[in-house]
Amino acid sequence: MINAMNKVNVVTRLQAQINDALGNNFPPGPNCVPWFWIINLQKGGTLPFCLFLMYKFDNYSTSACFYTAAHGSYGLVWVLKHFLIRDPKWDTKTTVLSQLTSFLLVLGPYWLAPYVLISGIAPAPSTARCCAAMIVYVNGVVLMVVADCYKFVTLKHKRGLVTDGPFALIRNPNYLGEMMLYGAFASMVPHWIPWAVLAWVWLQLFLPNMLLKDASMSRYPEWDAYYQSTGLLLPWIPALFKSKRA
């Protein structure tokens, strides 16, 4: 990771250092709590949180039910994925206050979307809008899970770059899937707050993580060819035409 940090620009390096200081090593120590504790608590707690909001605000509208079903089911999928295909990075030990800052700065703000919708701060979206969002959500959650499963199984048998399957055209299909599903949640809420939360998370957390991953993977001999034929989040169109001619 140190070598990767030296390969990214100063802004990305600063973002990564801030994220590490707040999310992993916020003093005082020791680093004694696995990162997944707070993540799984928030993800798995989303369904009961949304149901509580529906009860508190007596809002059992179609849009509230759509949102609760989508965001709540994603939380359950995440927890199930954690136990079936465990990602070792979530076993990283953090400080107790880092668990708190992770919730306050990233995980907790995800709950603003259901609060704004179900409390009535935002107007209710149309049924058609909710249905369209559900289509994006389902495709996003499938892409995220498939990408994580594919990477997990591939790396079990061969370490190195994963360049086929869902990674054949884009280098971060798991991030794309997660952005699709959270974008679907935000689109169900006609208000600027959910999009502001996503802009913060995507620019401060997702983008530096993807750039650091690129920098780390550049140590492999086949990296240059893979980089030139793929996109960071979306397929690199010239590469598609090149592969067709080939």
pLDDT in tens, 99-154: 999 999 999 999 999 999 999 999 999 999 999 999 999 999 999 999 999 999 99
pLDDT confidence tier of residue 239, bands split at 50, 70 and 90: low
> Which one-letter DSSP state was computed for residue 57?
T
Residues 154-164: b if buried by 16+ CB within 10 A, e if exposed: beeeeeebbbe
CB 144 within 8 A of CB 178: yes
The tens digit of pLDDT for each residue in 55-84 reads 999 999 999 999 999 999 999 999 999 999
**Per-residue pLDDT for 246 more than 60?**
no
Domain that holds residue 77: 2-245
**Per-residue pLDDT for 29 more than 50?**
yes
The tens digit of pLDDT for each residue in 150-195 reads 999 999 998 889 999 999 999 999 999 999 999 999 999 999 999 9
- The pLDDT value recorded for residue 244 is 47
Radius of gyration for the alpha carbons in the chain, expressed in angstroms and rounded: 19
What is the spatial distance between Cα 202 and Cα 131, in angstroms, rounded to a whole number?
A: 24
**Per-residue pLDDT for 238 more than 90?**
no
Beta bridge partners of 34: 93
pLDDT confidence tier of residue 20, bands split at 50, 70 and 90: very high
| Mean pLDDT, rounded, of the chain | 93
**Rounded average pLDDT over 202-224:** 95
What is the spatial distance between Cα 205 and Cα 186, in angstroms, rounded to a whole number?
A: 18
Enter the pTM of the model: 0.92
3-state SS, residue 152: helix
In 3D, which of 106, 102, 122, 126 has the Cα closest to residue 35?
Answer: 102
Q: Up-side HSE of residue 138: CA atoms within 13 Å toward CB?
A: 7
Q: What is the share, in percent, of the chain residues with pLDDT greater than 90?
A: 87
Domain count, the chain: 1
